[in-house]
Amino acid sequence: MVKSPVFERGWTDGAFPWATIENIDQWEGKDVEIRGWLANRRSSGKIVFLIIRDGTGFIQATVSLGEAFSREDLKFLERLPFESAILVRGRVRREPRAPFSGYELEVQGVRVVSLAQEEYPIQKKEHSVEFLMEHRHLWLRSRRQNAILRIRNTIIMGIHECLQKEGFVLIDPPILTPAACEGTTTLFELEYFDLGKAYLSQSGQLYMEAACMAFGRVYCLAPAFRAEKSKTRRHLTEFWMVEPEAAFFTFEDNLHLQERLVSFIVQKVLSECPRELEILERDTKPLERVTPPFPRISYTEALELLQRKGFPVRWGDDFGGDEETAISEEFDRPVFIHHYPKAIKAFYMQPDPENPDLVLNDDLIAPEGYGEIIGGSERIYDLALLEERLREHNLPREAFEWYLDLRRFGACPHSGFGLGIERTVAWICGVHHIRETIPFPRQIYRIYP
């Protein structure tokens, strides 16, 4: 595999299958090869303990003075720089005292593939978040970041699994778009050849509406872009969103799907990621309670609740992070806030037939202060009403002709929602700030690395 290793001892031609640390218990008593990087080391005279990480976990590899390793070899390994790439071969032994996995590798052979060229910038000592973010490309190697992004992986797989089982078809939306979906104030604009301005997509929803009239039930899982000036722990300028959309779904059907989806992914993480949750020291009790039905309160009830708690909010105000946190404190699982004032919501939301000042929408607020994770609604399907709403919102009609066509040909009630991946990951992992829930976060003050 490696033409000229930096260092090689005890390397024989024997058969050493490539094992991964996450499955090391399956190799007890067997000879294996582990391929990874040096994460830590210590020595006690005749033994050097190398802590190797391979991306799936960490394991202690013990190198002892003897036939294969001389004093000089041990000296070399004792000073091997952190994050050197290394292959180790040896026998897997159960050792309850060994850190991380309860197994260790009794090393028979070592091959150093490359030496780290400088002192590794991320040390055991506390670093500022700013420093770690500047080194995000390396920070990803840490145990904590590994656990968060593995849970993210499980959440995304869970979303596909749940929606596919429910008959939803994955349809990819465009990212370059001719018009706004979620208000014109947060658009990223660019020049699109001779065709004028184009925008990075804020949401795939409008395209999902077209697709649901072709496939019945659809969803996309795609990046969304918002030129949000907010520097909060809940905002990114580039984030990922899953957006299901279903023809003939009512407001009520929509809420039920949200409950099923959120409960499914939480339960999947609980059963498949116990190791990661433990690394993150996540209290799993609140997650165990995440099962349908979720409590519901109307916007007006939420307003009264906030006023009782001393918030100076008036009817027609939108809720910010603090308000969402205060509301979520009253419930032991995610809570729906529904029927918001039409005036503070997007142009496409279906008015409440009983009170046209309200819309048939919902925000799902995560527990424990993690804020809104879902925005959803029933959509307007009446052509004249939609035309009126476009005018009220000063949206350019030409760019929406295709969208109006959906109301000309086979218009029907339909509903959907968007669940923000990063906020969901932050909540399930119990991570305070959303910047750790995406591999390379984009914020108003950060585009590097």
In the bound complex, what is the minimum distance in angstroms from residue 273's beta carbon to ligand 4AD?
21
Nearer to ligand 4AD, 99 or 439 (CB): 439
Q: How many residues touch ligand 4AD (CB under 6 A)?
A: 22
Subset of residues 389 to 418 that bind ligand 4AD, contact rule: CB under 6 A: 416-418
Place of tokens 């036939």: 67
From candidates 31, 73, 83, 182, binder to ligand 4AD by CB under 6 A: 182
In the bound complex, what is the minimum distance in angstroms from residue 182's beta carbon to ligand 4AD?
5
Subset of residues 416 to 445 that bind ligand 4AD, contact rule: CB under 6 A: 416-418, 420, 422-423
Which listed option, Mg ion, ligand 4AD, none, makes contact with residue 226 (CB within 5 to 8 Å by class)?
ligand 4AD
Query: In Å, what is the CA distance from 409 to each residue of 191, 205, 210, 216, 382?
Result: 32, 18, 11, 15, 11
Question: DSSP class of residue 249?
Answer: -
| DSSP-based three-state secondary structure for 58 | strand
Measure the CA–CA gap between 100 and 104, rounded to whole angstroms: 9
From candidates 243, 276, 352, 362, binder to ligand 4AD by CB under 6 A: 243
Nearer to Mg ion, 24 or 187 (CB): 187
Structure tokens that stand for 175 in this block:
């990212």
The length of the chain is 449
| 361 and 407 Cβ atoms separated by less than 8 Å | no
Residues in the site for Mg ion, rule: CB under 5 A?
375
Nearer to ligand 4AD, 276 or 378 (CB): 378
In the bound complex, what is the minimum distance in angstroms from residue 330's beta carbon to Mg ion?
20
Dihedral over Cα of 377, 326, 241, 333: its sign: negative
From candidates 152, 217, 226, 268, binder to ligand 4AD by CB under 6 A: 226
Nearer to ligand 4AD, 104 or 352 (CB): 352
Phi, psi of 261 (to 5 degrees): -65, -50
Subset of residues 12 to 71 that bind ligand 4AD, contact rule: CB under 6 A: none
Residue 376 engages ligand 4AD in binding (rule: CB under 6 A) = yes
- The full 3-state SS of 411-447, as one line of letters, equals CCCEEEEEEEHHHHHHHHHCCCCHHHHCCCCCECCEC
Measure the CA–CA gap between 120 and 189, rounded to whole angstroms: 39
Which listed option, Mg ion, ligand 4AD, none, makes contact with residue 201 (CB within 5 to 8 Å by class)?
none
| 419 and 374 Cβ atoms separated by less than 8 Å | yes
Q: Decide: residue 58, CB within 10 A, 0-12 exposed, 13-18 middle, 19+ buried.
A: middle
Measure the CA–CA gap between 109 and 89, rounded to whole angstroms: 5
Piece in contact with ligand 4AD (CB under 6 A), picked from 68-76, 102-110, 235-243, 318-326: 235-243
Which listed option, Mg ion, ligand 4AD, none, makes contact with residue 334 (CB within 5 to 8 Å by class)?
none
From candidates 50, 241, 265, 431, binder to ligand 4AD by CB under 6 A: 241
Site residues for ligand 4AD per CB under 6 A: 181-182, 203, 205, 226, 228, 235-236, 239, 241, 243, 372-376, 416-418, 420, 422-423
